[in-house]
């Protein structure tokens, strides 16, 4: 009821998330605010046998947002946790457009698939592989907060793109637009912060 003091009891858990007896602590409070991380909802992806990323805890996709299961596309928080709904909307439009192309038999890839890796200072990159090379957009999160840095997209020692960033934070997604890419000239992609 209003004005009634309540409380919260917290307890340590072990590596299996089981409560550790004797570690309980009680705090009197009238309001509790939880600020917790999210994980993608992936029950349907797992049931479909889609390859999952241990880093994003979402589906592994190519640049069309198609998963490892042909004809299944992923976007939004099924793919990775987003900080802005605008990014979810952009991904949803891309996934929908590519799903329609797939249904019409017009989602052709190039002859070669290129892996995308997270390099120095980058936690993960989505997509994890490029197969079409049309309008390629890389989304990623950095490992630590920093300022005045440069994002590099590399193929080995060759720098394909740089982007200056005044401020980087792990909680905020970063995007690099690569545009059209000829995959025959690329061995792999690595996104890094320097």
* Region 184-193 average pLDDT: 96
Q: Which of 82, 62, 85, 83 is nearest to 74 (CA)?
A: 62
What is the percent of the chain with per-residue pLDDT over 70, rounded to a whole number?
94
The predicted-structure confidence for 101-120, as pLDDT tens digits, reads as follows: 999 999 988 889 999 999 99
Residue 66 has phi, psi (to 5 degrees) of -85, 135
* DSSP assignment letter at 83: S
Query: What per-residue confidence (pLDDT) applies to 179?
Result: 95
Query: What per-residue confidence (pLDDT) applies to 2?
Result: 56
Query: What per-residue confidence (pLDDT) applies to 78?
Result: 86
The predicted-structure confidence for 41-89, as pLDDT tens digits, reads as follows: 788 888 999 999 999 889 999 999 999 999 999 998 888 888 777 888 8
Cα–Cα distance between 36 and 44 in angstroms, integer? Answer: 23
For the ranges 80-94, 98-112, 153-167, the lowest mean pLDDT is seen at 80-94
Note the pTM of the prediction, 2 decimals: 0.77
């Amino acid at each position: 009821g209003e004005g009634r003091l309540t409380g919260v009891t917290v307890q340590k858990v072990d590596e299996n998330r089981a409560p550790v007896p004797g570690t309980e602590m009680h705090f009197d409070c009238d309001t509790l605010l939880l600020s917790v991380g999210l994980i993608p909802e992936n029950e349907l992806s797992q049931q479909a046998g889609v390859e999952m990323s241990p880093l994003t805890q979402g589906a592994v996709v190519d640049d069309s947002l198609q998963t490892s299961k042909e004809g299944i596309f992923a976007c939004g928080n099924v793919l990775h946790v987003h900080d802005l709904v605008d990014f979810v909307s952009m991904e949803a439009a891309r996934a929908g457009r590519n799903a329609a192309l797939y249904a019409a038999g017009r989602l052709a890839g190039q002859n070669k698939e290129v892996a995308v890796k997270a390099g120095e200072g980058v936690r993960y990159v989505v997509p994890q592989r490029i197969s079409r090379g049309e309008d390629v957009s890389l989304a990623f999160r950095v490992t630590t907060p920093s300022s005045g840095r440069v994002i590099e997209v590399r193929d080995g020692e060759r720098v394909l793109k740089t982007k200056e960033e005044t401020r980087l934070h792990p909680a905020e997604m970063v995007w690099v637009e690569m545009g059209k890419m000829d995959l025959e000239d690329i061995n792999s992609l690595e996104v890094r912060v320097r």
